[in-house]
Chain A
Amino acid sequence: MAADRIYLDHAATTPLRPEVLDAMLPYLTEHHGNPSSLHAAGRRARRGIDEAREAVAAMIGAQPREIVFTAGGTEADNLAIKGFAWAASANGRHIVTSAVEHKAVLNACAVMERSGFAVTYVGVDRYGRVDPADIAAAMGEHTTLVSVMAANNEVGTLQPVAEIGRICRERRVAFHTDAIQAAGQLPLDVDALSATLLSLSAHKLNGPKGVGALFVRRGTALLPQLQGGSQERQRRAGTEDVAGIAGFGRAASLVDLDEVPQLIELRDRLIDALTGLPGVELTGHPTERLPNSASFVIEGIEGGDLVAALDLEGIEASTGSACTSGSTEPSHVLLAMGIDPLLAHGSLRMTLGRDTTPEQIDRTITVTRDVIGRLRSAMAPRPVAASA
């Protein structure tokens, strides 16, 4: 059964690669030590973390000592925003971010607002892109941190982060980028991006869930968000998830950007076919988008119905972010892009992976077309949004 299923939700999470599992297993079995212990078992576990730190650092052009392992991408974002903003609070209490960030960034910023910080949420164009000039204009003398994601998790749009980073560097303001969706698909170099802080998550690149990392540029002060021991250079207390971190390291070392052209070809095949259907529009930028991401709004249907119907046909897609799927509100990203709220209810996201085949894409196209037709006929009495 599972073999026949088509998984097109790689932006939510990716399958664990067998090589990654192999790298993890010894740390769940024989290498059981605590990496902070001085004895042989502890030293063996420590070696697993150190090797992983090198691999993750290498993926983004960082020094190993600049990598702080966390329990996931959300924690990395929280540590970046809260940890940096508090540490720099003597210099100013203003944060600039975008309206289309992941909830981990937006909600961390909301907490800072409640603590007396000012936050400016810069808007985006209809493709979901931030204009670097808008970021520059939003920055003031009290701004200490700018946070803009490298690629949007819902609509796949790439942000001009290198340019934003350059502006921040010139103004001597710290720059954080959430690169969780971009990692594994785009070349990432912390120097080219002028990044002060950069968030990563293992399970978006065929690693395990519950493991992430924050790149913290050397010399950057950070207020830890968990109080406890001195792990991770006193930036993230708590005994490390050694197996998870080892898996992250292996996953990072297996990233192969030579696989990207094939992803782009399949992605565009899917986008071309579905946007050829009446009332189906691409969301996000047509070219400046993640290699694996196809996202749409579809007139006259509820996205949740479409995802359920596709699931019963063996195709696993989503309406948007898995992190907000419990909500009935239309996506904040689509609304920020100026998409009509009613139309935004008809969102569909299909995100490809390294195992996605042309045959799967062709079948997805056929089934999606049929299902949209079936759903539209059932929804006919409902109001349909004016075509955008």
Chain B
Amino acid sequence: MRRIVAAMSGGVDSSVAAAMLAEEARDTGVEVIGVWMRTHADLGEGYELKRSCCSPDALDDARRVAQLLDIPFFVLNLEREFGLHVIDAFADAYLAGATPNPCQACNQYIKFDELLRRGLAAYGADAVATGHYARLEHDGGRWRLLRAADANKDQTYFLWVLSQEQLSHTRFPLGELTKPEVRDRAEALALPTARKPESQEICFVPLGDYRTLLEERRGYAGEPGAIVDADGMRVGTHSGYAHYTVGQRHGLGVALGEAVYVREVRPERNEVVIGSRDEVAASTFVADARSFIAGQPPAERFDASVRIRHRAPDVACEVTLIGHDRFAVETAEPVWAPAPGQAAVLYDGNECLGGGRIARA
């Protein structure tokens, strides 16, 4: 290997990942190239996301870290691609009554596609390293994706969609570390990003207000419609179906004496269906757009554990393949609100097998 691209967001994780590679480079001679991806335009003054990886502050931080590590640093302009594959897809998911998964889309189409492909060509590198918490093992001629040593930080939930080809050009330097260890390393190296707070919000949605984005991006202003219960009885009025996601509790304006949650969003009828806690849980669901890390599924029917949202607990399940790109999941115990559009990620112990996108019932 001659060169490796370190994707740098300006956050502490990718800063430390780049620093670890730069340290290694002293022995291996592999040149490290820092790259910051511009994924969307600045949102303008007073609209700036302090913690977003795309703010001018983040660019300054990433550049400063690259200077301290004494590595070349470039800005890769991926605004068009991010707009198409991440932001538009995010809006379209809501319009289809689903819950978008932008971090996965960013990994799938931006970091491990555009950055990988263009970065490798432009910089003559052989691999891309990111600050994800995940581990890779090369074993028996194939790459295995394993959960991070820090179970709290594990990000395989957003990485299940990667292919063997992508993984063969990928490095996750932080996989064996815990978050506190990463912060300690950042402190020890006196990186300016050492004490940066965790980014939580979606980087391109100012203040979590995705309704404005739906309007600006897709002209969706929201038309009031019916909130109905399981029997189809109208129990309230919503501001537009795309403003609701499965599992949502707040903002329904419905008082039925017990806590109610969004159970289903029906774009065709501009309807939001609610239910009790028990009604929103499910033991069976179907996922489409399936993908397996190994390139093919382990079997037509197999036991695994499934995770249906980031940081949700894993639940034991049986997986049955359906057709060419779907699978059915039957869980040992009900899972809370499987939301169409979110990933159902399958594991065998610590190994991420792959997954699919939860489909509408």
Tell me the A residues contacting B by CB distance below 8 Å.
302, 304-306, 308-309, 311-312, 328, 374-375, 377-379
Contacts and interface: CB of A to CB of B under 8 A. Distances in A.
Contact of A304 (B72, B74, B124): B74
Given A304-B75, A328-B41, A379 B123 contact: no
B77 A304 contact: yes
Contacts of A312: 3, 33, 72, 123-124
A312 B73 CA distance: 10
B118 A328 contact: no
14 contacts: A304-B76, A305-B118, A305-B121, A308-B122, A309-B122, A311-B72, A312-B124, A328-B38, A328-B41, A328-B79, A374-B121, A375-B118, A375-B122, A379-B121
A374 B117 CA distance: 11
A112 B29 CA distance: 55
Nearest to B41: A328
Contacts of B76: 304-305, 308
B120 interface: yes
Size class of the B contact interface (CB-based, 8 Å) = 10 to 19
B18 to A, nearest CB: 16
B122 A306 contact: yes
Among B38, B75, B79, B121, residue most surrounded by chain A Cβ atoms (within 10 Å): B121
Contact of A328 (B72, B77, B120): B77
A305 B77 CA distance: 9
A379 B124 CA distance: 14
Contacts of A306: 122
Contacts of A377: 121
B337 to A, nearest CB: 37
Contacts of A308: 74, 76, 122-123
Nearest to B3: A312
A375 B75 CA distance: 16
Contact of A379 (B33, B41, B77, B118): B118
Interface in B13-61: 33, 38, 41
B124 A309 contact: yes
A184 to B, nearest CB: 30
Contacts of B118: 302, 305, 375, 378-379
Contacts of A311: 72, 74
B72 A302 contact: no
A298 to B, nearest CB: 13
Contact of B123 (A302, A309, A328): A309
Interface string B108-135: 0000000001101111100000000000
Contacts of B124: 309, 312, 374
A378 B120 contact: yes
B77 A302 contact: yes
Nearest to A379: B118
Contacts of B123: 308-309, 312
Contacts of B122: 305-306, 308-309, 374-375, 378
Interface in B101-158: 117-118, 120-124
Contacts of A305: 76, 118, 121-122
Nearest to A329: B41
A245 B74 CA distance: 34
Interface in B62-97: 72, 74-77, 79
Among A302, A311, A312, residue most surrounded by chain B Cβ atoms (within 10 Å): A312
A306 B123 CA distance: 9
A325 to B, nearest CB: 9
Among B38, B74, B118, residue most surrounded by chain A Cβ atoms (within 10 Å): B118
Nearest to A306: B122
Nearest to B75: A304
Given A305-B76, A312-B124, 5 more contacts: A306-B122, A308-B76, A309-B122, A309-B123, A379-B117
Interface in B181-218: none
Nearest to A376: B121
A294 B356 CA distance: 51
A302 B114 CA distance: 12
B79 A375 contact: no
Among A304, A374, A375, residue most surrounded by chain B Cβ atoms (within 10 Å): A304
A375 B117 CA distance: 9
A63 B152 CA distance: 73
Nearest to A311: B72
Given A312-B72, A328-B41, A375 B121 contact: yes
Contacts of A378: 117-118, 120-122
A305 B76 CA distance: 7
A76 B283 CA distance: 72
A312 B2 CA distance: 12
Contacts of B121: 305, 309, 374-375, 377-379
Contacts of B117: 378-379
A60 B3 CA distance: 49
Among A302, A308, A378, residue most surrounded by chain B Cβ atoms (within 10 Å): A308
A312 B117 CA distance: 17
A308 B3 CA distance: 14
Contacts of B3: 312
B41 to A, nearest CB: 7
Contacts of A375: 118, 121-122
A314 to B, nearest CB: 12
Nearest to B38: A328
Contacts of B75: 304
Nearest to A375: B121
